[in-house]
Amino acid sequence: MAEVKSHEFDAFLKRKPLPVRLFLIYGPDRGLVSERAAAIAAASGVDLDDAFSVVKLDAGEIGSQPGRLIDEMNAIGLFGGERLVWVRNAASEKGVADAIDMLASASPGPSTLIVEAGDLKKGSALRKAAEAASQAVAIPCYADDGRALQALIDQELAAEGLRIAPAARQRLIETIGGDRLASRNELRKLALYCRGRELIEEQDVEDIVGDASAISTDDAIDAILKGDKDGFLHAIQKIVTSKTPIFLVLQGCLRQFQLLELMRAEMDEKRAPAAQAMATLGRHLHFRRKPIVENALKTWASPAIRRETQRLQAAVLQSRQRPALEDTIAMQTLLATVLQSARR
């Protein structure tokens, strides 16, 4: 079924039964990804309170082996009935993409598959698998635009019987919008603060609402590249508030240093300036991030980048081997990296 656009999602969700059983939900807005995955799960018809009917997996458990996911999709529940297989933290795992390809080419089974992923580039294996299959659907989740923010504000405040002054609404729009879950949490906090009143004023917004306008793992990674410890801690605080796993920052930081290693190798081999390496290998980067990455290329030498990449790889492995310590391992490693960057 290819792709369901943001403005089509509510209408799609109302279709009973849902037209497919394979769902890829991805995008930079992790709160919206989580919210829409939960909505799909609720609409699937599976009893979410039945531990025998719902299987939750981390994409790292699947890795490059699609068999684990296919086995779960083909398994029969202990007491029969439909099952839900819910995969989180997907990125570039080959096994997940291959499993969607195989499941989409077979007859629909009794199980529903939901895959939550981060910001996938166009042409990535996971997106291609979902968008090309007639039995699967891809649902992108990008930061809310002005219309979506207005609707979210009206929805949350109306539930508490509150109205909002125009100046307060404008101030609110300026401070939310980077992540759906964080934005919703800020609105609920504001509604609780103003409960018992009729009108929310601008001062109320300034007093109680935090800055939830730009929650992104890129913010934390950019702070690491700049050696900005305070900026990193601020970005991490917003990420934790939005309930985005810190592991995604660790994973993103590893990918960034792997790219730096490739760029720096090209610079050393061709005796080329950083700008040339950016022009060839960094074309896909957002224009706001390019100066930060280019400056990192000038300050990090190849041996140092290689050492840092190996340390990040080791941290990713440790976090998979010891999931209970995942946040601690990720935070300690990222703090060490930002301090290394500051020294340069």
Residues 238/300, Cβ–Cβ less than 8 Å: no
Assess whether pLDDT exceeds 90 at residue 52.
no
Count of CA atoms in the C-beta half-sphere (13 A) of 109: 22
State residue 8's pLDDT score. 87
Highest-confidence segment of 89-103, 176-190, 279-293: 89-103
- 134-162 pLDDT, tens digit each: 889 999 988 777 788 898 999 999 999 99
146 or 273, higher pLDDT:
273
56 or 212, higher pLDDT:
56
Task: For residues 276-291, give the mean pLDDT.
Answer: 81
Weakest mean pLDDT among 125-134, 171-180, 192-201: 171-180
State residue 339's pLDDT score. 92
| Local confidence band at 313 (pLDDT 50, 70, 90 cut-offs) | very high
Weakest mean pLDDT among 43-52, 111-120, 291-300: 43-52
3-class DSSP state of 153 = helix
- 127-137 pLDDT, tens digit each: 999 988 888 99
Nearest residue to 3 (alpha-carbon basis) of 284, 12, 124: 12
State residue 77's pLDDT score. 67
Task: For residues 68-86, give the mean pLDDT.
Answer: 83
216 or 109, higher pLDDT:
109
Q: Which residue has the tokens 């082996």?
A: 65
3-class DSSP state of 310 = helix
Nearest residue to 112 (alpha-carbon basis) of 91, 95, 87: 87
Assess whether pLDDT exceeds 90 at residue 322.
no
184 or 212, higher pLDDT:
184
Nearest residue to 89 (alpha-carbon basis) of 113, 61, 64: 61
State residue 54's pLDDT score. 92
Residue 72's identity, in one-letter code, is E
Residue 233's identity, in one-letter code, is L
Q: Which residue has the tokens 């531990």?
A: 51
Task: For residues 161-166, give the mean pLDDT.
Answer: 92
State residue 38's pLDDT score. 93
| Local confidence band at 211 (pLDDT 50, 70, 90 cut-offs) | low
Task: For residues 12-36, give the mean pLDDT.
Answer: 88
- 81-140 pLDDT, tens digit each: 789 999 998 887 889 999 999 998 888 778 899 999 988 888 888 999 998 888 899 999
Mean pLDDT of the chain: 86
Beta strands, E only, the chain: 22-26, 54-58, 83-90, 111-117, 136-140, 163-164, 199-200
